[in-house]
Amino acid sequence: MCPAPLSTAAGSVKAGPTEPEKGVDPGALETLASLLELAADDRWPGWVELSQDVVFRHLTPEQRRQYVTEALKAGRDAAVRYASGPRAGAMAGNGTDDDALAMTQSLATTLGARVQVANTAPQAAGITIRADYDPSRRTITLYRPAIAQAAQHLDRLLPGQWTEAKLMAVHLAHELFHHLEAVHEGPVSHRLPPVVTFRLGRLFTVRSRARRCREIGAHGFARQLLDLPLFPNVLDWLVLAAEGRCSVRDVERLLLQARAAWEGGPDSA
């Protein structure tokens, strides 16, 4: 189900120059610091996420803000509701990354989800899948080699900050939200009005749901649950940057465009 490639995000990110393997470019560090600051505001990466939805171009700017805001709230509220009490401390940065992973696993079990770890890294449409949720079996699968590889990539950009255990916890939390949608809460996309995406005369219309709102909710849930310093979809883009498939500057530019669009500037769509 996720993550989505940056290359499809608003069509605005192209393959950029590969980050240098060695040596620290002060300009690149500045860009990275700016990017991390932007990524700490959920609205901009949330906007980018929604911009990948087929309904995006059919929404007014006000509706786009509403859909992102509502989806973020759904994720955050669920994290507060389901993770209050003694386990909150361990997941809110007071423990180790292993603690956070263990507590997220414990929460998943409490909420009726089965968690399994696979030693494969499946691909779909050219994207390596790191985790998924099967609602028919209520099972979350974490693909350890894919997550470990992402952690290695992130370590090159942000040394020591994103361990394999922490990334496992992030992906588990994300999929746990999809479990909550499936079993307890209903899809976030169904809490928002359907969008008319095709109209033929007065009699025939096609309405679609903003499915990306489910991803925004899941990212918001993971961030709140684990007290993350940034909106988690940005990690996917940073992995692409570390792989040389786009640049850090591309990611920063994408978030700047989203902020400008949110605030009424030129639209990023």
Name the residues that contact Zn ion, by CB under 5 A. Answer: 1-2, 215, 218
**Among 223, 172, 191, 248, which residue's Cα sits nearest to residue 41?**
223
| Unique residue bearing structure tokens 């109209």 | 199
Query: Shortest Cβ distance from residue 116 to Zn ion (Å)?
Result: 17
Give the integer Cα–Cα distance in Å for 143 and 45: 24
Give the integer Cα–Cα distance in Å for 118 and 213: 27
Give the integer Cα–Cα distance in Å for 189 and 55: 11
Judge whether 170 and 164 are in contact, CB under 8 Å: no
Query: Shortest Cβ distance from residue 165 to Zn ion (Å)?
Result: 20
Give the integer Cα–Cα distance in Å for 255 and 86: 35
Residue whose CB is less far from Zn ion, 2 or 113:
2
User: Which tokens hold the place of 80?
Assistant: 């507060």
Residue whose CB is less far from Zn ion, 132 or 252:
132
Query: Shortest Cβ distance from residue 214 to Zn ion (Å)?
Result: 7
Judge whether 3 and 130 are in contact, CB under 8 Å: yes
DSSP letter assigned to residue 59: S
Give the integer Cα–Cα distance in Å for 86 and 254: 38
Residues 230, 134, 43: CA angle, nearest 5 degrees: 25
Query: Shortest Cβ distance from residue 202 to Zn ion (Å)?
Result: 37
Query: Shortest Cβ distance from residue 233 to Zn ion (Å)?
Result: 9
With CB atoms as reference, the residue minimizing the distance to Zn ion is 2
